[in-house]
Amino acid sequence: MIALDDRTTLAQYIDTAHAAGARLHLACEVAGIDLRTLQRWKSSSGLVEGDGRPRSIHPALRHALTDTERANLLCVANEPRFADVPPARIVPMLADEGVYLASESSFSRVLRAHGQTTHRGHAKAPRTVRPPTTHIATAPGQVWCWDMSYLPAQVQGRWFHLYLILDLYSRKIVGWEVHDTDHSDHAAYLVHRTALAEGIAALTNKPVLHGDNGSTLKATTVLAMLNWLGVKPSYSRPRVSDDNAYAESLFRTAKYRPEFPPKGFADLDAARAWAARFVQWYNVEHRHSGIRYVTPAQRHAGEDHAILAARHALYMQARDANPARWSGPTRNWSQIGAVTLTPERDAVVATHAAAERQPLAA
């Protein structure tokens, strides 16, 4: 868009060059505009009033959200159950209830117009790192991640120890314990109890258990238990902090929950009670962004395919009801396939997944 002063100056320069014998279209080309543009400026009020586009009145689109729809959308977004939930999770939660109000981007636009999109949290932008080779999970029970994190007590200098085991494929917390000391016996007991709960004794291929290089997770007691269970241990590479990113992300989610006490836990029972509530919420209620906003329990049980198919059908109905609101395909509700412990090339993942589907030799 060329300002009025610049238009007038360019037109004067072009007229001067043309009067001196220059070809008009060549003078316009040197000035950086088209001959048709100069003719349009002179035929209308382009050299008097300037560009009229900023002052033009655009009619409302027929497929735009009405004021009533926007008010209803804002009312739903402000319901108590959505108080700390972003549009990325509100939309699939409503879809599971058979309700379609608007797309995720429409939710974001309406909330932004009302000043309700303030970012919460103190997370920094992730850095791009070199993708290493990794373990690949194509179903539940193939790769587990585990780690230990500190839970603060109300007494300064005292900590409780939270042990968690996460299924890489489904993101379900399959085992957890809270203790007042960090000891290898606690870790060994947790692995044993989780193996019984998940029934790995009946599995032909036992899971891989990935953890960091902490002394507790590499203790002889733990290694002996893993060997007895048939679980293969895996450890992060030395001096690489993000080889166990899923477990670290889980701890971050836990400690940024509104229910996490900022002043610490009063005692061990309080820490265990909070951990039990968090695990229940994370497994059963939390719509996980990494698995198309289904809950870890639904994906672990294989229910995510039907849920995502129902969402896709709902979106197709919404597009058929008002096709002018859709300029392209509907939201991608396809099921997430193989999951890698750390980023890996698509060709490697596809090859591994194909090998997993091959029948066993007799």
pLDDT at 51: 80
Beta strands 208-211 and 143-152 are parallel
How is residue 225 written in tokens? 């238990």
Lowest mean pLDDT among 34-43, 132-141, 302-311, 312-321: 132-141
Decide if 123 is inside a domain: no
More confident residue, 75 or 243: 75
Phi, psi dihedrals of residue 210, rounded to the nearest 5°: -100, 135
By the 8 A CB rule, do 151 and 159 touch? yes
Decide if 160 is inside a domain: yes
More confident residue, 72 or 5: 72
Residue 144 shares a structural domain with residue 271:
yes
By the 8 A CB rule, do 139 and 159 touch? no
Residue 242 shares a structural domain with residue 318:
no
Confidence band for 124, pLDDT divided at 50, 70 and 90 = low
How is residue 240 written in tokens? 């690489």
CA distance 49 to 3: 10
Question: Percentage of residues in the chain with pLDDT exceeding 70?
Answer: 88
Residue 320 shares a structural domain with residue 273:
no
How is residue 81 written in tokens? 């159950």
How is residue 304 written in tokens? 């995510």
DSSP assignment letter at 64: S
Residue 41 shares a structural domain with residue 69:
no
CA distance 137 to 92: 25
Residue 181 shares a structural domain with residue 235:
yes
Residue 28 shares a structural domain with residue 99:
no
How is residue 269 written in tokens? 């029972």
As a whole number, mean pLDDT of residues 205-213 equals: 90
Confidence band for 346, pLDDT divided at 50, 70 and 90 = low
pLDDT at 360: 34
Decide if 345 is inside a domain: no
Q: Which residues pair with 265 in a beta bridge?
A: 153
pLDDT at 359: 40
Model confidence over 232-269: pLDDT tens digits?
A: 998 886 655 566 789 999 999 999 999 999 999 999 99
Residue 69 shares a structural domain with residue 46:
no
Structural domain tally of the chain? 3
pLDDT at 46: 76
Q: Is the pLDDT of residue 362 over 60?
A: no
Decide if 126 is inside a domain: no
**Averaged pLDDT of the chain:** 87
CATH number of the domain at 198, please: 3.30.420.10
Residue 100 shares a structural domain with residue 184:
no
